[in-house]
Structure 1
Amino acid sequence: MRNASEERLVWCEDGTGARIYLAVLYSLMCALGTPVNLLVIYLALSFKKLRTSSNAFIVNGCVADLLVCAFWMPHEVVLVSRIVPMATGHHTFKEALLFTGIVVSLLSHSLIALNRYVLITKVPATYLSVYQRRNTGGMISVAWLLPLLFLLPWLAVRQVTPVGCLPLRGPYSSRASSYGAGVLSTTILVQTTIVLYCYFRIFRKVKSSVKRVSVLNFQIVNNLPYGFHRKDKRLGFSMLAVCGVFLLTTGPFFWVCLLGLFRTMPPAAHTVTWLVFSTLFVLNPLLYTWKNEEFRKALKSTVRGSSAVVSVEPPVVVVQAVSRHGSATT
Structure 2
Amino acid sequence: MVVESGNLNFSTEDSSGTNLSANDSVRDTLMSREQSELGRTGHTVVAVFLGVIFLLGFLSNLFVLLVFARFQVLRTPINLILLNICVSDMLVCIFGTPFSFAASLYGRWLIGAHGCKWYGFANSLFGIVSLVSLAILSYERYSTILCYTKADPSDYKKAWLAIAGAWLYSLVWTVPPFFGWSSYGPEGPGTTCSVQWHQRSSRNISYVTCLFIFCLLLPLLLMMFCYGKILFAVRGVAKINQSSAQRRETHVLVMVVSMVSCYLLCWMPYGVVALLATFGQVGLVSPTTSIVPSILAKSSTFLNPVIYGLLNNQVLPGLRELWVRASRQPHPPHPAQQPSGWP
For residues 252-308 of structure 1, the C-alpha deviation after alignment (integer angstroms, 9 at most, x for no partner) is 112112222212322233211121222112100111134322211101111222686
Which residue in the other structure is 2:233 paired with?
205
CA contact (8 A) 2:138 2:223 kept: yes
Q: Which amino acid aligns with 2:274?
A: C
Query: Partner residue of 1:3?
Result: 9
User: Could you tell me which amino acid in structure 2 is paired with residue 185 of structure 1?
Assistant: F
Give the counterpart letter for 1:203 in structure 2: L
Superposed CA deviations along residues 116-159 of structure 1, whole A, max 9, x for unmatched, are 1111112144x449x93112111101111122222331112267
Q: How many angstroms apart in 2 are the aligned matches of 1:90 and 1:28?
A: 23
Does residue 1:194 correspond to 2:222, yes or no?
yes
| Contact 1:249–1:279 (8 Å) recurs in 2 | yes
Is 1:185 the counterpart of 2:212? The answer is yes
After superposition, the C-alpha distances for 1:193-249 in whole angstroms (9 at most, x for unaligned) are: 01111101001111111499xxxxxxxxxx5449x9677445423322222222222
- TM-score, normalization: structure 1? 0.80
What is the distance in 1 between the residues matched to 2:297 and 2:74? 29
- Distance in 2, matches of 1:121 and 1:161, equals 44
> One-letter code of the match for 2:170?
P
- With over 3 angstroms needed to count, the CA separation of the structure-2 counterparts of 1:170 and 1:181, relative to structure 1, is farther
TM-score between both structures, scaled by the size of structure 2: 0.77
Give the structure with the higher percent helix.
1
- Which residue is 2:26 aligned to? none
The alpha carbon displacement at 1:310 in A equals 2.4
Q: Work out whether residues 19 and 80 of structure 1, in 8 Å CA contact, stay in contact via their aligned partners in 2.
A: yes
Of 40, 65, 79, the residue aligned with 2:64 is: 40
Residue 155 of structure 1, aligned match among 151, 160, 178: 178
Among 156, 160, 163, the residue aligned to 1:140: 163
**Map of 1:104 onto structure 2:** 129
Take 1:14 and 1:314, find their aligned partners in 2: how far apart are those partners? 49
State the Cα deviation string for residues 85-124 of structure 1 (Å, max 9, x = none): 5322222222211111111010110011011111111214
Residue 305 of structure 2 is aligned to residue 285 of structure 1 = yes
| Structure 1 residues 297 and 122: alpha-carbon distance in aligned structure 2, compared to 1, 3 A threshold | same
Distance in structure 1 (CA, Å) of the matches to 2:188 and 2:111: 7
- Equivalents in 2 of 1:163, 1:208: separation in Å? 48
Read off the aligned partner of 1:107 and give its amino acid letter: V
The question of 1:21 aligning with 2:38 is answered no
Decide whether the 8 Å contact of 2:116 with 2:193 is kept in 1: no
1:88/1:287 Cα in 2 relative to 1: closer, same or farther (>3 Å)?
A: same
Q: Identity across aligned pairs (percent)?
A: 21
**What is the distance in 2 between the residues matched to 1:128 and 1:89?**
46
Q: Are residues 159 and 224 of structure 1, via their aligned partners in 2, closer, same or farther at CA, if it must alter by over 3 Å?
A: closer
Amino acid at match of 1:156: F
Matched residue, 1:116: 141
**Residues 171 and 177, structure 1, Cα contact 8 Å, conserved in 2:** no
Unaligned runs of at least 5 residues, structure 1: 213-222, 319-330
How many Å separate the matches in 2 of 1:243 and 1:268?
27
1:260 aligned residue: 277
Deviation string 1:172-196 (CA, Å, 9 cap, x unpaired) is: 5835865664454221101110111
Tell me, in whole angstroms, the C-alpha distance in 2 between the residues paired with 1:132 and 1:191.
Answer: 25
